[in-house]
A and B are shown apart, each in its own frame.
Chain A
């Protein structure tokens, strides 16, 4: 980190008091409050300003488990974590460098969760010191003093007092005060925040805008006058217009862009917000969101809509996914295109509804009874959530099968700017075919090589048949003959081979061979690659491989896996630890992806997992990789081999 004096741009004419700004590569900032105090809005605005300043950004929502947790409680922390970088940011990063807390209890909650860096910077609302309730005042002072003695760099900020100089109800204004404060701290252009306020509050009228601008400026000026801190995070060189949305909104936008017309769903966290947003906008584009009576109905409704029209989509999370399994089998058997999104959460059962896990991969690949070939793919970043819908729709329709798209609670609520997509006509499903079926062509005219056949959508003269979930022949007649049953299974399976042939082998992040290959899927990509980069910078021969298609997997993987001395799957799905007394190589339960890779490629894939309900931090992965590397004898630790980054 270089400390160099720059002309910290506070915007046109904003005083900077001439403080030198410490230049940083990145910072992780948290803004937390009781729910309803607006920390989220503040943090999101801060993130938007950073994005406009050209920084890389990743935001993580901090959501209390209860809807209305009691005020000033450790479990009640609500807000956001924002990672701002001078590079393209791919994950939420490690512990927070700086936290703004509206009371000491929510702060304690985050400290207890080990989310704040030891010795980190804390900006704490100071009004509690003089609270009329002596108990509160006492607790506050005790916490403040203890944290200082523990080495935290704690600043008291009289948020309430300062806000009351601008508005009568400080509770609703603190967030914009804090935004101004953060703008000063990070040398951001205050004008951008001013615009942000007009955008956010414009609908509420000039008075509200005015009040919030006053608060913003007050925060800015207070920080300039009272804090000896000033940072600057140089831009990442991002110059194209960016979309800032979370993964669920990206999914919904992707659904619109794919030309799917029906989304059937049943509310379940953390998938629901995708449907909230879609319900709001889908009709404008001619689509319908149907809230069914349960997930089984939602899946069957989507299947009905697909059968009679364009491919439809159903969105759910783990428990709902379990309920859909039988219907997914019907789509596989009847060869009805269907897109199923599973925004994974912690399991089993009701598990951790608002928390992140990657436990449904095997259920997605194999959960349906019988042989039900389907495509399983996973989004690794917010942008993927958008494009995966377009790809999934296309695959489902081309191959007449269900496509399962896995995302998770991390992607659902995280925001990461991505380049504004430019709409392409090819994304959209073509109008449904209602032309007569040529004489002699049957509803399952399986092509010998690919298993593909043309779908007869009701309304097509000459295409009359009864689609059935029973084993059937090419004419869709119930198969009583054992040969016919096998023929159907055979051809449905061939479709996956045909599809697999179209997949590109994934690129290895890092060198193509070495000591350790870390394999992952889904939202852990950014954190894994960051951890790998840190070790590569030290000369370790570590690489990463991230899979978008989990079933089937692209060709060439076995060769890649075999070029490394050790292969480690890293994912947020449980694996037994060999350190445990009773766990042996014989009874060890592997994590989801490790099972798949071991079974398919006969490679001794090890695994490491963390299931704390939080996105896995690059630092945790880094530590795990270090310990695995230590177990590899005679490592090719040669800095010259590996380009340092």
Chain B
């Protein structure tokens, strides 16, 4: 059909309902608020890597679904997570992105989290251990023991990432949540300690799912000159796009020909443990986290949805903790030449998602977004996105293609 009139433009596409979504899921404020409540407050979210808090009393702050969160390492070496919120008058307890509680603060003592406002102090287990002028003000009515921090489910897993769940009783243990999707890389990521070497963030005016979609679909490699010249061959087109329970997706590996991009070298000398040279695996975790291993460097994207049409993406790069300085620099260069803020691919991906965000800003006319490619569940098949939106539909009880209707499982699940 040639160009369309308004009615034709808004009509349902000639695909099954599971093969497209309504763009309102990327722009509607009501749906967004519901996602924070129903998905982000109930999911396992990787908030940082354990190497960001290597020593007892180190801390790292973050947030999930608008709730400020602090992660700290206790003297017993355990990593714990709490709301970064003072139970007194609601001050954010720690304002820095990272640091150590070994040093005292203007309002408080070493080895304590101190709220600067009125100097209440907490230990690394979240117990309140000091209330200034406690008896004078609260007499026998309220004491330290009554005002501990809100503790959160927290585990270090799948390569040393720190996972937090705001739900006290998650539907699924972290192990059951992620183990199947991580199978392809677990031996590699857990062979020895990893270490973060890269961090930067982007805030873009686009829905968080659009970023995750970009990580889930490789059809957009047409946009990346680098990926076309180092990839597009029979082995690339045979890469499997595999769906796992809980909405996760894994894109299988092949051998990337880095030398085909002028100026780039093979990553073979610094392959991660147990992997043949120059492999490229991608694990996309519901609801929007991504682990991307290219030969010598691991990248992790963590999304923090800020508004229906606004997301923060934190980008990390990781190598092996035991790297020599020279090895580390080479890994960093491998990582940044493609994935850094001044690298070849990431800039293109961010332009892409920003362009989608522009056409799907809150209030824009709803339209159909197609996820209907079938290529035998290989790299340019869009089964990854279709799988994700089934899971999304279940959590939200909304149909991704008709978000005002309750979710119904697609009839032909077997064909997926």
Is the pairing of A and B real?
no
**Chain A positions near chain B (C-beta within 8 angstroms):** none
**Chain B positions near chain A (C-beta within 8 angstroms):** none
